[in-house]
Chains A and B, each alone.
Chain A
């Protein structure tokens, strides 16, 4: 007599937003096989619809008050925190898809895999945000990263795309190594990889265990690579420059949000009781990251590189919020990630839409006199840049206001001073682009606007985000703050 097969009761509810993405990816993969084979527009369209559906599910679960959903023995936790990050990741993915549709066709690289890879990396990101276990963090990290390695080199005929992809892969593998070794040490010290059980073990007295402390340090290094904080930022400019511009936007927004999601959750839950003064470490990291990012950005002529260094600087600002801690500090990091997603996707989006003499317009000179030729695009890009500087009434100002406010509240006044002085430095290079667009005459071959309805739609959505969050930040900030409160028990 064979023993009866007992299937475990699987609660799929914590996976709902991710299942929508997986389902979409599968559908796109299958649709790719049936005609029309030469046009792929519909695939991008289906992918974008899937992302919208995932966003709808996320919003619905947020406002229906689904509470904290745990599945797979606490390995996946879909709480308000994960849902907020799903919103950020959803917007990042959606904007990226809209920007990519006409762009990859224009570049002659249109194919169904592109959309599938984007969706799969979004899946990895969402998994990282909902991870209740270090193994799931790693699983999400790899799902996201491997898709992104391929996407970074998607324009495979270009040498710099190959360089970007290879560099990203090697450094990413290196970071994963740190990360895994960290997990191993923590497992050795506490006997578990579950975040809550690690927290219990730490509380029970293993907080001073050097193995745990070293493990935590290695985890921080791994995250440091993924969020590209100094001194683990070296890959960012080259990858950002070589990757397709829309992919760059995705790396800068989505992957950063996911890495921050996992980083904050690990720090706030598992490492709560560790007897290491990690805020001081992060303090130094924040100050150095902002300063290096901004100072090096001053010297860049290539806008993708400039935005790469600027994104490093913005990671520095967000680390200020991590240092400050508490509901206000962590909440403002979440809120800033949302703002940063709209702003950066918008800024890169403007680059996606422009080309000059058959090449992408990514050099400062390409933007000379853009305001006379394409006034609407120049105005939109200016608003994104002002939001990156942090000028009211754009969202960037409110985001920085919350971050630095949290730092002042927690007593890190000097870190806030470093932050605002950095913002003044940053103003120079962002405004320099405005100088080119508005105060110089166009020279040489004209910079033309590639017609793209989906691209224009993406810019409109990003602009709406930047303005709306700048003028009425209250509701979403409250949501972000409410999302971190349960983690701070």
Chain B
């Protein structure tokens, strides 16, 4: 088990190489190898869950090996309660995303398979890396496959969306690179050990004040763009709408979580004092995002765009929860990341299915689908309800915990955020009503096929977890709690140490 995380992370690359060597005519074999690789990756990632010690706050399955010794860069990977669920979410969503592309990706399946598998490695690498250099390598390297997925297999306006996506995220992350270097040299100058190792760096107290604020902002900008938080969200609707279904699922399900994960893993422990100073601002932006995202979703004519803007709203909840620095809020934030991955992933999958049948996503084109495709409509309803936070389904758990945490810190913020849940009900149910209920208005909808076995196979696993987390979230929350507690203790202790450093001046 010593190489478990390495195996999980790099198995998709092996699959990509195999696909590369397959002749282009062998499309069926390509598909099987790709899906097989992702399923096997998921299977070997299961021990990460089963052998994970939920009582421990430490990094587990750690591997560390020197990479560029003269710089203090090492290949250091491991998971703790914060990242373990995200690793599993990634390996879980990937086979589903691939399965959803079985027929919807019509050209260049081979290249598509290679990019998707490389993307998986990039995403997993981001979540397991415990070395800032390694993290940055994965963080940037993963941009290119996503750029290609949007740009090659996307909709009519795909090039614009792809370029916007990459320029936004690149600008943010390049500033983070300077900040990483700054932290590295500060730590090196103070302790004369030059290292990018995260567990070492988080023990280092960076002087408070302007330096820490600027460093925090450089990191926060990169993560805020990725989340995306208002007002850095404008790349998201373009990217989501133009991306093929699999791209949207991965984008919403995993990529956006990298931003929130980054806040949790890097911003809070490295810059505790600045995090606290800027928390009110992040609160404000989150709440604007929650409400604004919901309002904009309400008026969308395109289902996919509606789901895209709803992400802005949902991710606002996550950031809100993380920056409460309360156990409930943070555990809620982490579980809400998973929930959003499942619910919004499922929404994108279903929008993709309906698009494959009708080649339109406009709400006005539908109506009365319940009569034609009842199975689809039922599942779509469950997914919508999970996304809007109906008790008993997963969304409720996360949002409830987040609001509980927020209420302890700032009542007005909690009250405003709660309105986001109401608005979510408005836009999702109104959309659902126009799509599935009412009279069957369009002739083209009369002959729609209901779900195929392949589509059932895609949706059922997601539904399983939607209900599981809704009914018995402890299975998952228990894993995160010790790490979250440890993080809060660490942040508060470090913030005090930073303040102590400030006073003598």
Smallest beta-carbon distance B121→chain A, Å = 11
A439 with B140: CB separation less than 8 A: no
**Contact A393 to B137, CB < 8 A, known contacts A421-B171, A438-B151:** yes
B137 with A392: CB separation less than 8 A: yes
Contacts of A440 in B (CB 8 A): 159
Set A386, A404, A421: member contacting B181, Cβ < 8 A = A404
- Contact flags (1/0) for A338-367 with B, using CB distance below 8 Å? 000000000000000000000000000000
Set A439, A477, A481: member contacting B159, Cβ < 8 A = A439
Contacts of B184 in A (CB 8 A): 405
CB nearest neighbor in B for A405: B181
Q: Judge if B143 is at the interface, Cβ distance under 8 Å.
A: yes
Instruction: Give the contact-size bracket for chain A.
Output: 20 to 34
Q: List 15 A-B contacts (CB under 8 A).
A: A375-B111, A391-B143, A391-B144, A392-B138, A404-B181, A408-B178, A408-B185, A428-B163, A435-B159, A438-B148, A438-B152, A439-B152, A439-B159, A474-B67, A474-B68
Contacts of A372 in B (CB 8 A): 108
Set B70, B166, B174, B178: member contacting A478, Cβ < 8 A = B70
Q: Judge if B175 is at the interface, Cβ distance under 8 Å.
A: yes
Please report the total number of B residues contacting A with Cβ < 8 Å: 35
CB nearest neighbor in A for B158: A439
A420 with B70: CB separation less than 8 A: no
Interface 9-mer from A162-170, A225-233, A311-319, A409-417: A409-417
Q: Judge if A427 is at the interface, Cβ distance under 8 Å.
A: yes
Set B70, B147, B174, B185: member contacting A431, Cβ < 8 A = B147
**Contact A413 to B178, CB < 8 A, known contacts A427-B167, A439-B162:** yes
CB nearest neighbor in A for B176: A420
Q: Judge if A276 is at the interface, Cβ distance under 8 Å.
A: no
Shortest Cβ-Cβ A-B pairs, 5 listed: A420-B174, A392-B137, A408-B181, A424-B171, A474-B68
State A323–B137 Cα separation when bound (angstroms).
Answer: 26
A435 with B137: CB separation less than 8 A: no
A408 with B182: CB separation less than 8 A: yes
CB nearest neighbor in B for A481: B70
CB nearest neighbor in B for A478: B70
Query: Could you tell me which residues of chain A, from 419 to 456, have a CB within 8 Å of some CB in chain B?
Result: 420-421, 423-424, 427-428, 431-432, 435, 438-440
B166 with A427: CB separation less than 8 A: yes
Query: Could you tell me which residues of chain B, from 123 to 142, have a CB within 8 Å of some CB in chain A?
Result: 133, 136-138, 140-141
Q: Judge if A217 is at the interface, Cβ distance under 8 Å.
A: no
State A375–B70 Cα separation when bound (angstroms).
Answer: 37
Q: Judge if B373 is at the interface, Cβ distance under 8 Å.
A: no
State A421–B147 Cα separation when bound (angstroms).
Answer: 19
Q: Judge if A401 is at the interface, Cβ distance under 8 Å.
A: yes
B174 with A421: CB separation less than 8 A: yes
Contacts of B171 in A (CB 8 A): 421, 424
B159 with A391: CB separation less than 8 A: no
Q: Judge if A71 is at the interface, Cβ distance under 8 Å.
A: no
Smallest beta-carbon distance A283→chain B, Å = 16
Contacts of A408 in B (CB 8 A): 178, 181-182, 185
B151 with A428: CB separation less than 8 A: no
Contacts of A413 in B (CB 8 A): 178, 182
Contacts of B185 in A (CB 8 A): 405, 408-409
State A472–B140 Cα separation when bound (angstroms).
Answer: 17
CB nearest neighbor in A for B24: A375
Main secondary structure of the interface of A (DSSP, over half): helix
13 extra A-B contacts, CB within 8 A, seeds A408-B182, A435-B151: A372-B108, A391-B144, A392-B141, A404-B178, A409-B181, A413-B178, A420-B174, A424-B167, A424-B174, A431-B166, A439-B162, A474-B68, A481-B70
A interface with B by C-beta (< 8 Å): 371-372, 375, 386, 391-393, 397, 401, 404-405, 408-409, 413, 416-417, 420-421, 423-424, 427-428, 431-432, 435, 438-440, 472-474, 477-478, 481
**Contact A392 to B140, CB < 8 A, known contacts A405-B184, A431-B163, A439-B159:** yes
Interface centre among A386, A409, A428 (most CB of B within 10 A): A409
Q: Judge if B69 is at the interface, Cβ distance under 8 Å.
A: yes
- Contact flags (1/0) for B161-174 with A, using CB distance below 8 Å? 01100110011001
State A405–B152 Cα separation when bound (angstroms).
Answer: 35
Set A397, A417, A438, A472: member contacting B137, Cβ < 8 A = A397
CB nearest neighbor in B for A428: B167
B177 with A420: CB separation less than 8 A: yes
State A405–B144 Cα separation when bound (angstroms).
Answer: 23
B interface with A by C-beta (< 8 Å): 67-71, 108, 111, 133, 136-138, 140-141, 143-144, 147-148, 151-152, 158-159, 162-163, 166-167, 170-171, 174-175, 177-178, 181-182, 184-185
State A408–B152 Cα separation when bound (angstroms).
Answer: 38
Set A371, A392, A427: member contacting B136, Cβ < 8 A = A392
Set B70, B108, B181: member contacting A474, Cβ < 8 A = B70
Contacts of A375 in B (CB 8 A): 111
State A427–B167 Cα separation when bound (angstroms).
Answer: 7
State A427–B165 Cα separation when bound (angstroms).
Answer: 12
Smallest beta-carbon distance B224→chain A, Å = 16
State A416–B108 Cα separation when bound (angstroms).
Answer: 40
B178 with A416: CB separation less than 8 A: yes
B70 with A427: CB separation less than 8 A: no
State A397–B143 Cα separation when bound (angstroms).
Answer: 14
Smallest beta-carbon distance B452→chain A, Å = 30
CB nearest neighbor in A for B183: A408
Contacts of B177 in A (CB 8 A): 401, 404, 420
State A135–B175 Cα separation when bound (angstroms).
Answer: 44
Smallest beta-carbon distance A108→chain B, Å = 36
Set B111, B152, B181: member contacting A416, Cβ < 8 A = B181
Smallest beta-carbon distance A132→chain B, Å = 29
State A216–B41 Cα separation when bound (angstroms).
Answer: 61
A386 with B144: CB separation less than 8 A: yes
A435 with B143: CB separation less than 8 A: no
Contacts of A424 in B (CB 8 A): 167, 170-171, 174
B148 with A397: CB separation less than 8 A: no
Contacts of B158 in A (CB 8 A): 439
CB nearest neighbor in A for B110: A375
State A438–B167 Cα separation when bound (angstroms).
Answer: 18
State A397–B144 Cα separation when bound (angstroms).
Answer: 14
State A372–B111 Cα separation when bound (angstroms).
Answer: 10
State A299–B144 Cα separation when bound (angstroms).
Answer: 23
State A473–B144 Cα separation when bound (angstroms).
Answer: 21
A417 with B68: CB separation less than 8 A: no
State A409–B178 Cα separation when bound (angstroms).
Answer: 10
A391 with B141: CB separation less than 8 A: yes
State A107–B68 Cα separation when bound (angstroms).
Answer: 45
B182 with A420: CB separation less than 8 A: no
CB nearest neighbor in B for A382: B144
State A438–B136 Cα separation when bound (angstroms).
Answer: 26
A420 with B140: CB separation less than 8 A: no
